[in-house]
Amino acid sequence: MPNLNDYLALDATAMAAGLRDGDFKASELVSLAVEQAHRVNPTINAINVEGYDEALALAADLDKKPAGLADGVAGVPFLIKDLSLLEGLVATHGSRLYQDAIATRSANIVVRYLDAGLVILGKTNTPEFGLTLTTEPMAHGATLNPWNLDYSTGGSSGGAAAAVAAGIVPVAHATDGGGSIRIPASCCGLFGLKPSRGFTTIEKDIGDSWSGMSVGHVVSRTVRDSAMFLNLITLDEAALYPMPAAPRSFADHLDAVPSGLRIAVQNQHPFGEALDPDVMKAVENTAQLCESLGHHVTVVEHPADYKSAAAAMNKLVCIHTFQTVNRRLQELGIDLEVADVENSTRQMAEMGARFSAVDYIRARDSLTRVEQQMAVFHQKYDVLLSPVLTKTTAKLGWLDMNTGDLNEYGARFRAYSGFTALYNGT
């Protein structure tokens, strides 16, 4: 039987192999995951909805399967971000407005995870409706960075990133509508991949994914875990956008060595914000590493019209925020003026309510033009290398969604971000 130190050293790929080979049982891994959750979660606040008893019961059932478990990830401990539905568990979306809303179905991506045999321990903390770059919701309190408890985990998949960085699970579900996989991965020292739009599971209500801008995947400690989990959610045919050709197994292609890639380096903020020296140095070091590996590295200016993209995406997110909030307001029979939501959420919902159908179409058209610009850009370059954030990880409290000074909040949001969101619209 593995001990806790053994568990903390394993990634999901190693856990899955050990389960298949009979080196340990699902119940042993899940028990250790729950033990680690009890050890660290009271401090870091990564998990806000617990399902430990159900997870232990499921793991015990998996133990009864003869000759080990089937191929894949069956029996591996896992967590779901609290923006996605898991039937039978509360789905708060990081908001007091949804604090007692029990999900009556599971999201499509969650169904894929359940069908694969993952053992879900609960749900991870997220800012209200996933609307900001840190995970400090009024509904559940701040998630603390395991590397330094004074600092943010990033957002909006901050609970997921903290849980993985602290060793509760080796990999956790995350979503990304503007950087929400990539930013927490950067803040917590993890690997975070945002899949291309339409490449992975599509939810029943496209509004739940911000008109297709938000996609789901995971944060992980290893690249091979991300590849293995990508196989679980990749669509067999196009459902929203044209799909590029893809390998049958991403994990099987990890040892392939690309050569002579044309890599464009973006080292200037699209809106003129200053970059921290540490951020610039990280980009420079990565560019030099790529060059030493035989790739062709070129510094470029902005590859697309970021200002048009940002304005369009802001409109779309505000519209979908109003849609999400208003749906719950109708269920509760209350008005937005008295709704228990954070100040920036209220402002975004109010703005979303004022936008018209014409505004929505114009925003989508703007993103289409930017998408075309990026398509032209990638005829010349294979890869675009940029920072994730303008600064090193922010301290807790620096970016407050519930502040009374929303102008200052907006200024800090813009100064901190700017690189990641474009690629949710292209």
Residues 85-142 have pLDDT tens digits of 999 999 999 999 999 999 999 999 999 999 999 999 999 999 999 999 999 999 999 9
Looking at the structure, tell me whether residues 314 and 167 fall in a common domain: no
Domain annotation covers residue 289 = no
314 and 219 part of one domain: no
Q: Please check whether residue 118 lies inside any domain of the structure.
A: yes
290 within a domain of the structure (yes/no): no
Tell me the pLDDT tens digit for each residue of 164-176: 999 999 999 999 9
Helices (H), 12-157: 12-21, 26-44, 52-63, 108-115
Residues spanned by the domain of 107: 4-253
Which residue type occupies 185? A
**Residue 68 pLDDT > 60, yes or no?**
no
Q: Are residue 242 and residue 375 in the same domain, yes or no?
A: no
Is 355 found in the same domain as 215? no
Considering the domain architecture, whether residues 241 and 324 belong to the same structural domain is answered as no
Q: Which residues contact 212 (CB under 8 A, 6 or more apart)?
A: 197, 198, 202, 206, 240, 241
226 and 343, same domain (yes or no): no
Strand pairing category for 383-385 and 296-299: unpaired
Same domain for 243 and 335?
no
Q: Where are the beta strands (DSSP E) in 186-304?
A: 191-192, 215-220, 262-265, 296-299
Within a domain: 95: yes
Q: Are residue 408 and residue 330 in the same domain, yes or no?
A: yes
Quote the number of domains for the chain: 2
pLDDT tens digits, 219-257: 999 999 999 999 999 876 655 666 666 666 888 889 989
Q: Which two tokens stand for residue 296?
A: 């062709």
- Structural domain contains residue 366: yes
Helix (H, G, I), strand (E, B) or coil at 126: coil
Q: Would you say 135 and 155 are in contact if contact means Cβ atoms under 8 Å apart?
A: yes
Specify which residues 102 forms β-bridges with.
90
State whether 241 and 310 are in the same domain. Answer: no
Query: Would you say residue 296 lies in a domain?
Result: no
Q: Are 338 and 329 in contact (CB under 8 A)?
A: no
Please report the pLDDT score of residue 205 as a whole number. 65
Q: Is 294 a domain residue? A: no
Residues 335 and 235 in one domain: no
Residue with tokens 């960075």: 145
Instruction: Enumerate the active-site residues.
Output: 81, 156, 180
Q: Do 22 and 162 share a structural domain?
A: yes
For residue 27, the domain's CATH number is: 3.90.1300.10
Distance CA 229, CA 78 (A): 11
Is 159 a domain residue?
A: yes
Same structural domain, 247 and 311? no
Helix (H, G, I), strand (E, B), or coil: what is residue 77?
strand
